[in-house]
């Protein structure tokens, strides 16, 4: 993979996919976890979104490592890289539990349709409700940690890039009329 495209570090371009997709997966994941109607309608698209976010992470870390190798050693960049390497550990389980909950919901709906209304047997196994609750709690937990981690990574990246920047008083350039 090239380290630069049109003179810009590829990492600076690719990282925006993670910055957008992971929080979007977090928010929509929580919605489908706590709202069964949304899960039935949007569960699989949210799982696909979370999987796409998951796939974007190694691309961002790979391009970040290529960029880091072209820069002088810096503790701030090392911290940023360490935090970035940890993100998969939170987003992957969130994605897997989202898929499991969506699959469980699909199973429950199929079982209910197969037995139909007015049947004398229980349409949904007894373990399904506690399993759905446990998966929902796990999704919310992994989503929260994923969101916090994205903020920490972004903050450390911004500090690494901008920590030496000296700001001056604004000047009038004639285009502010």
Task: Band the pLDDT of 138: cuts 50, 70, 90.
Answer: very high
Q: Give pLDDT, residue 79.
A: 92
The structure tokens listed for 177 are 């009329």
The structural domains of the chain, with segments of one domain joined by +, span 11-113+126-161
The HSE-up count of residue 126 (CA atoms within 13 Å, CB side) is 0
Sorted by sequence, the CB contacts under 8 Å of residue 170 that are 6+ apart come out as: none
Can you tell me the distance from the alpha carbon of 8 to that of 161, in angstroms, rounded to the nearest whole number?
14
Q: Give pLDDT, residue 7.
A: 83
pLDDT in tens, 141-163: 999 999 999 999 999 999 988 88
Whole-angstrom CA distances from 48 to 104, 113, 126, 131, 143 are 16, 25, 29, 22, 15
Total-model pTM: 0.83
Which residue, 89, 99, 108, is CA-closest to 139?
Answer: 99
Geometric angle at alpha carbon 39, from 143 and 22, rounded to 5° = 30
């Amino acid at each position: 993979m090239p380290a630069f495209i049109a003179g810009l570090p590829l990492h600076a371009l690719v990282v925006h996919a993670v910055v957008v997709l992971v929080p979007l997966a977090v928010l929509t994941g929580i919605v489908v976890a706590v709202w069964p109607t949304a899960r039935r309608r949007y569960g699989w698209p949210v799982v696909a979104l979370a999987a796409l976010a998951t796939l974007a992470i190694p691309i961002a870390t790979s391009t970040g490592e290529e960029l880091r190798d072209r820069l002088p050693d810096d503790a701030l960049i090392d911290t940023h890289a360490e935090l970035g390497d940890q993100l998969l550990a939170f987003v992957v389980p969130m994605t897997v539990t989202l898929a499991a909950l969506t699959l469980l919901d699909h199973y429950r709906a199929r079982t209910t349709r197969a037995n139909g209304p007015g049947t004398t047997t229980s349409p949904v196994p007894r373990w399904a409700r506690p399993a759905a609750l446990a998966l929902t709690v796990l999704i919310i937990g992994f989503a929260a940690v994923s969101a916090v981690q994205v903020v920490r990574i972004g903050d450390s990246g911004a500090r690494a890039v901008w920590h030496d920047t000296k700001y001056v008083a604004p000047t009038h350039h004639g285009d502010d009329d």
